[in-house]
């Protein structure tokens, strides 16, 4: 007993020390998450909160619509949009249903612009707009390097040195996969794709696809518009020049079309969300320590609980009542009469040794002699049963079933 008390005291002190360490032993500083979440309400390095806030004031006096929970097809058909308008999406990949794609194409065709910054081409849209004039398919290629210098093709936007983007998650420069459009789609006869920007002097990462009265703009490096880069004045200037191509009044920021897509990093680490928030992280560790302590203190051998055996109950009568009720509720009186007669014939065979497939008058006389039941009563039992048996296509009436039951019951009560 004394040994157990010492162990309990030891583990209690240990638990208190661990709890105190996690709550007071670390500097309370919000950690940075270097995952590319592209969320417009995230102030983490690779969120898009800063660019969204800039666009909200980009056109004074005009509306800014942030779509978080409505389908794109429903939103674009609403009356709250002042046209011409600009659709803006930023994320790893654009997710659109067939209805959303049709609505967005109609939106562009009627004279509005759409800007999509994504690592993967939105093939639901580009397949409808691209014509392979140069006999080459449209797809993106990637170049892995730590830095890339962006610039524009238009002379009024082009700068001498360009805009250099260096990928540095934390304090260490690392290689990054910079996306660009397959160069084979551009030739002298190409008109469905127009190059607007590039990096490293040749890789096109910003282009437009005219459609009807509007344009679809695509940028293949959405990381350029994240908080980490927009906080730098030159990168904010680059973003401003990109958005200067748009001509609308209302800006529609679409969060809904990326909320259904999860990043691979989130799928590979289920505890990442817990570890990003101090309160959740401390609660997790406290729960883990408590579970370990509970396991240790309850590991002592215990006597197994002896189950209480209930006394056996004869439920035959309840079973009979239940089966009878089922037959009666179904209204199949003929079936009940057949079973009733079947048991009656078994009783005659077992008690008096009289057995026949077809009872005749001779059988009735023998049964009357042995059972001391009046001949006419026995004859009435078989006569009543015969009327029910000869009518297989309709159910017998309750009065017929009751008449047969009373006759057989009278036999059971008065037979010898």
Return the percent helix, strand and coil in the chain, to nearest 5: 45, 15, 40
Whether 52 shows a pLDDT value over 90: the answer reads: yes
Kindly indicate the confidence band of residue 162, based on its pLDDT and cuts at 50, 70 and 90. very high
CA 190 – CA 405 distance, rounded (Å) = 96
Structural tokens at position 104: 């967005």
310 burial type by CB count under 10 A (0-12 exposed, 13-18 middle, 19+ buried): exposed
Longest Cα–Cα distance of the chain, Å, equals 128
pTM for this prediction: 0.59
- The verdict on whether omega for the bond into residue 165 sits within 30 degrees of 0, i.e. cis, is no
Q: Determine how β-strand 203-211 pairs with β-strand 85-91.
A: unpaired
Residue 237's CB is within 10 A of a number of other CB atoms, namely: 12
Q: What is the structure's pLDDT at 277?
A: 66
Give percent above pLDDT 70 in the chain. 80
pLDDT in tens, 265-313: 444 455 666 665 677 778 878 887 887 777 676 656 566 677 888 887 7
Distance, CA of 135 to chain centre: 41
Give the residue among 197, 196, 180, 182 at the shortest CA–CA distance from 134.
Answer: 182
Fold of 49-262: Rossmann fold (3.40.50)
SS (H, E, C) 322-354: HHHHHHHHHCCHHHHHHHHHHHHHHHHHHHHCC
Distance, CA of 31 to chain centre: 30
Whether 86 shows a pLDDT value over 50: the answer reads: yes
Q: Determine how β-strand 203-211 pairs with β-strand 176-181.
A: unpaired
pLDDT in tens, 91-132: 999 999 999 999 999 999 999 999 999 999 999 899 989 888
Give the residue among 138, 230, 250 at the shortest CA–CA distance from 184.
Answer: 138
Q: CB under 8 Å to 61, separation ≥6 — which residues?
A: none
Whether 261 shows a pLDDT value over 80: the answer reads: no
Sheet holding 203-211, edge to edge: 64-67, 250-254, 85-91, 113-118, 214-219, 203-211, 194-199, 147-152, 163-166
Q: Tell me the mean pLDDT in the region 69-79.
A: 87
Domain ranges of the chain: 49-262, 317-414
């Amino acid at each position: 007993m004394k040994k157990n008390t010492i162990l309990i005291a030891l583990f209690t002190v240990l638990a208190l020390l661990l709890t105190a360490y996690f709550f007071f032993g670390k500097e309370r500083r919000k950690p940075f998450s270097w995952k590319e979440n592209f969320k417009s309400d995230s102030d983490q390095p690779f969120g898009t909160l800063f660019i969204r806030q800039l666009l909200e004031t980009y056109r004074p006096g005009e509306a800014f619509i942030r779509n978080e929970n409505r389908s794109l097809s429903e939103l674009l058909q609403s009356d709250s949009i002042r046209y011409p308008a600009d659709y803006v999406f930023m994320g790893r990949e654009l997710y659109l249903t067939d209805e959303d794609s049709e609505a967005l194409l109609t939106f562009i065709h009627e004279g509005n612009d759409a800007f999509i910054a994504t690592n993967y081409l939105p093939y639901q849209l580009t397949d409808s707009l691209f014509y392979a004039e140069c006999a080459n398919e449209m797809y993106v290629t990637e170049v892995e390097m730590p830095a890339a210098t962006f610039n524009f093709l238009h002379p009024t936007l082009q700068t001498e040195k360009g805009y250099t983007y260096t990928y540095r998650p934390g304090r260490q420069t690392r290689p990054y996969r910079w996306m660009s459009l397959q160069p084979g789609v551009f030739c002298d006869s190409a008109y469905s794709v127009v190059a607007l920007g590039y990096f490293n002097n040749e890789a096109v990462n910003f282009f437009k696809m005219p459609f009807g009265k509007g344009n679809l703009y695509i940028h293949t490096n959405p990381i350029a518009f994240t908080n980490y880069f927009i906080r730098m004045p030159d990168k904010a200037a680059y973003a401003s020049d990109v958005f200067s191509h748009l001509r609308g009044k209302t800006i529609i920021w679409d969060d809904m079309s990326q909320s259904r897509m999860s990043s691979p990093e989130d799928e590979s680490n289920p505890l990442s969300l817990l570890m990003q928030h101090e309160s959740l992280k401390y609660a997790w560790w406290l729960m883990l320590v408590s579970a370990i302590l509970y396991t240790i203190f309850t590991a002592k051998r215990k006597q197994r609980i002896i189950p209480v055996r209930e006394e056996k109950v004869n439920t035959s009568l309840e079973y009979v009542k239940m089966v009878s009720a089922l037959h009666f509720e179904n209204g199949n009186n003929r079936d009940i009469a057949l079973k009733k007669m079947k048991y009656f014939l078994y009783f005659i065979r077992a008690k008096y040794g009289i057995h026949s497939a077809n009872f005749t008058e001779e059988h009735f006389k023998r049964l009357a002699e042995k059972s001391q039941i009046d001949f006419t009563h026995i004859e009435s039992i078989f006569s009543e049963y015969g009327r029910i048996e000869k009518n297989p296509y309709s159910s017998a009436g309750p009065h017929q079933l009751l008449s047969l039951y009373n006759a057989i019951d009278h036999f059971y009560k008065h037979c010898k």
